[in-house]
Amino acid sequence: MRTLIRDVRVFDGERTIATADVVIEDGLIAVVGTGAGRPADVEVEVDGTGRTLLPGLIDAHTHVFDGSLAQALRYGVTTELDMFCLPQILTEQRRLAAENDDVADLRSAGTLATAPGGHPTQLLAALAGTLLDGLDAATIDSVSGPAQAPAFVQARLAEGADYLKIVIDDGAVHGADLPVMTPETAAALAAAAHDAGLRVIAHAITASEVEIALDAGVDGLAHVWTDLAPDDPASQRLAERVRAQGVSVVTTLAYFEAITAQHLETADCARPGSSVNAAGALRALRRAGVPLLAGTDATPFVPAHGTGMHRELQLLTEAGLSAEEALAAATSVPAHHFGLTDRGRIAPGLRADLVLVEGDPTRDITATGSITDVWRRGVRQAR
């Protein structure tokens, strides 16, 4: 089927084109041009006047459960980068994403690496009997020392993992005292993953945990840190180290907003884990020139799949990113850093994962929520 979206403003993942015609054919973007006239054999024509066409949004930090991928796609998130999916869920979700165009696409770390009894096993125990009926958190693979790292990585490859996630979190930000992997184990996991050709993402939410992750040689951070006040010079120094090592950072401001509302007395309380500190870390990272990837830490609770991304984009602009920088953080930047060379931009030959919205989100980021159409692999979704 050939589809023409005519006279539309285009944010192509990197820059804005004031008016263009975009043709979709056989699941791909065939033409991005101006004044070309109506191509022959167009079967569907969409009026883009007053609207903006965006690459499908990429949420760079989610946790997928049954129904998550369908919910994400309804809100224009065409790809989710899952940072921990339970083995009993992952196989079916991969099948859905591969075979169906009415759910978001999926990449996943599979089972994350954590110390025995470490984060997030305490959360899994709380979910047992609800979303995860019959789950025994103790059966989830863990890593007790450096010698186990190669076997753990090989097990993740067998599981189909697209990258490795390691957890360095002693629980202090959440008021807990949890076992945490040693720096030596983190380094051994990163080395084994790199030997296997996997990118390594670290969950680390304090400055000291980030230092351990950087010492281990990770490629990306799954969160900003949240224990340094926004005006602490140490935050800028840490951001400069992140940039110097070529490490990217997933933002997850919506996640820290959610836990601030749940666990802190006031939403603007500058304590470890607060959204104020998270926004301060983000500003330091932006000043340092660190690649920022929009991600929500979406779950079946809050932030929610799909809608959480639109809140994340608003929080990014409130923290100082321009609207175009925020949109790039949700499209071309995660595509580049996760090797998704077929998406994240609007250009001929790339996948027709697209979102059409009313208004101009390059000036007013809230316009991303005014969705009129979504395409995944060129298939127009029912609205």
Taking a C-beta distance cutoff of 8 angstroms, is the pair 289, 247 a contact? no
Taking a C-beta distance cutoff of 8 angstroms, is the pair 61, 21 a contact? no
- pLDDT, tens only, 313-348: 999 999 999 999 999 999 999 999 999 999 999 999
Report residue 178 as tokens: 């949890």
Average pLDDT of 93-115?
Answer: 97
Of 1-5, 59-63, 97-101, 246-250, the range with the lowest mean pLDDT is 1-5
Average pLDDT of 108-124?
Answer: 92
Taking a C-beta distance cutoff of 8 angstroms, is the pair 282, 230 a contact? no
| Spatial separation of the C-alpha atoms in residues 13 and 328, rounded to whole Å | 5
- The pLDDT score that the predictor gives to residue 229 is 94
| Spatial separation of the C-alpha atoms in residues 216 and 58, rounded to whole Å | 27
| Spatial separation of the C-alpha atoms in residues 28 and 10, rounded to whole Å | 16
Average pLDDT of 213-231?
Answer: 97
CA dist 256 → 29, 184, 218, 260, 269 (Å): 36, 28, 22, 6, 12
Which pLDDT band, with edges at 50, 70 and 90, does 148 fall under? very high
- The pLDDT score that the predictor gives to residue 272 is 78
Of 81-90, 150-159, 235-244, the range with the lowest mean pLDDT is 81-90
| Spatial separation of the C-alpha atoms in residues 84 and 201, rounded to whole Å | 11
Average pLDDT of 204-209?
Answer: 98
- The pLDDT score that the predictor gives to residue 351 is 98
Of 15-24, 173-182, 350-359, the range with the lowest mean pLDDT is 173-182
- The pLDDT score that the predictor gives to residue 247 is 98
pLDDT at 130 over 70: no
> What share of the chain has pLDDT > 90, as a percent?
84
- The pLDDT score that the predictor gives to residue 270 is 64
- The pLDDT score that the predictor gives to residue 123 is 78
SS (H, E, C) 55-87: ECEEEEEECCCCCHHHHHHHCCEEEEEECCCCH
pLDDT at 292 over 90: yes
- pLDDT, tens only, 20-40: 999 999 999 999 998 655 677
Average pLDDT of 254-271?
Answer: 73
- The pLDDT score that the predictor gives to residue 1 is 82
* Average pLDDT score over the chain: 93
Which of 39, 155, 101, 45 lies closest to 352, judged by CA? 101
Backbone phi and psi for residue 62, each to the nearest 5 degrees, phi listed first: -140, 170
pTM for this entry: 0.96
Average pLDDT of 194-211?
Answer: 98
